[in-house]
Amino acid sequence: MLNILENINDVLWGTPSLVLLVGTGLFLTFILKGLQFKKLPYAFKLAFSKDKEDDGTEGDVSNFKALMTSLAGMVGNGNIAGVATAVTLGGPGAIFWMWIVGLVGMATKYAEALLAMKYRVKNANGEYSSGPMYYIERGIGKKWKPLAIAFAFFGAFAALGIGNSVQSNTIADVMQNSFSVSGLTTGIILVVLTSLIIFGGLQRISSVAGVFVPVMAVFYITAALIILGLNYDKIIPAFNLIFTYAFQPISAVGGFSGIIISEAIRNGVSKGIFSNEAGLGTVALIAGNARTSHPVKQALVAMTGTFIVTIIVCTMTGLVLLVTGFWDSTGGLLSGVTHDASLDAGALTSAAFGSSLGDIGEYMVSISVVFFGFSTILGWYVYGSKCFEYLFGLNYMGIYRIIYVGATFIGTIAKLTTVWAFADMANALMMIPNLIGILLLYKVVANETKSYFGRFYMDTETKKVG
């Protein structure tokens, strides 16, 4: 099964898909005139400050809570194990390609959130539902509904794997290895906590995420910054490694004889998508619930999530692996410190932190893995439930909740050797219909953006000056 999945992924993540993914981001960057760079400060301002114009507008949660719920799904073990996997398989150059995916992906994420707001619908419970399936069907036309159904199907299914059992499996391993807690005990605890939160609906999930995500992100980044401070003399050389091996094969000195540029690109792109989800359409599944006076405002807020995850969190992980020498079996080109080549990706990151901070460092990563994984379980429930709702309606949501909680428990006690490979496949199968939808609706994105910055934005700035 693993070999079959790997062969499928070689096709799905081959040149055509990479061109579609990066090409869409570049195309939108051009159409939007580099909006993700020029408007980034304004986007952060919208994300982390209250805008009185949004008071009284329709929606279920604030811009901030929508962003935190989205980050709950993004800031997960992909930022720990995913980055380590990308670097060990693709070399330091993979980090560069993660940056590229993140930067151009900000434009893609912007478009996804804007279209989500534009084509959202109100369900029978009075809450908004949004996502690629809605902007494909309502924006392009009903003849494209099979594409919308395909996205919803793979989204609902992927949530059980990539967003749930993969995370609970990683949490169980960490709890066993670091704290001697059995998988069965971890499973029971996760089932109880997950049930208490997801059965409370979107409001409870977003409230938990609003507190949970900022705290755990600051906790992890602080630990990474301490390590970088202790190894400050190796930071510039680490960046040199990243840029050097992004464009040329890595030498055998680092134990990667035969690695070629395509491996750096493939691993950087696929793991970059796994960590920031730009192009998957997941942000569109929560963005439509935001209370905001214009679709562009929530779109700007949503794109900051990609910046936070890729440019900040993933970079921190990558740099720690490089400056400590924990990126290949001989200790890399910087430290010369050897380590156990059999360590898996998550353990590798933990060992890297421990090499500078001792047992405390390893425990900090272990705790981060647990909290990152749990937040991802909550965030991906929102994604999966929205897809399931589109396919089967609200009447059967109880069934999906039970299945979701069951997948959480199974992940803690089962050996999921093929799940990571399945995660890559599911990501691609979500990505393709979503990107097709965005490309066919690019004029809507461009027109809404022009409308806001040509009129609404200027009106707001005029009021402030007055």
Alpha carbon distance 433, 454 (integer Å): 31
The CA–CA distances, whole Å, from 142 to 114, 276, 388, 404 equal 20, 30, 19, 30
Residue 55 is assigned to a structural domain of this protein: yes
Query: What is the three-class DSSP state of 20?
Result: helix
Of the candidate ranges 12-21, 76-85, 410-419, 438-447, the one whose mean pLDDT is the lowest: 76-85
What is the CATH classification number for the domain harbouring 241?
1.20.1740.10
Residue 417 is assigned to a structural domain of this protein: yes
Beta-carbon contacts of residue 348 (< 8 Å; ≥ 6 apart): 84, 88, 321, 326, 339
Alpha carbon distance 156, 146 (integer Å): 15
Query: Which parts of 49-180 are beta strand (E)?
Result: 121-122, 128-129
Global pTM reads: 0.86
Looking at the 3D structure of the chain, how many domains does it have? 1
Residue 26 is assigned to a structural domain of this protein: yes
pLDDT, tens digit (0-9, with 9 covering 90-100), for 331-349? 445 544 444 444 555 667 7
Query: What is the three-class DSSP state of 450?
Result: helix
Scanning 180-283, the segments in alpha helix (DSSP H) are 183-198, 201-230, 235-244, 261-276
Residue 430 is assigned to a structural domain of this protein: yes
* Residue 121 phi, psi dihedral angles, 5° rounding: -130, 160
Alpha carbon distance 203, 62 (integer Å): 10
Residue 6 is assigned to a structural domain of this protein: no
Domain that holds residue 265: 13-465
pLDDT, tens digit (0-9, with 9 covering 90-100), for 301-319? 999 988 988 888 889 988 9
pLDDT, tens digit (0-9, with 9 covering 90-100), for 40-92? 999 999 888 877 776 667 777 787 888 887 877 676 666 677 787 778 777 78
Alpha-carbon dihedral angle through residues 434, 80, 100, 249, given to the nearest 10 degrees: -120
Residue 1 is assigned to a structural domain of this protein: no
Alpha carbon distance 165, 159 (integer Å): 9
Residue 269: pLDDT band (50, 70, 90) is low
pLDDT, tens digit (0-9, with 9 covering 90-100), for 414-434? 776 666 677 678 778 888 899
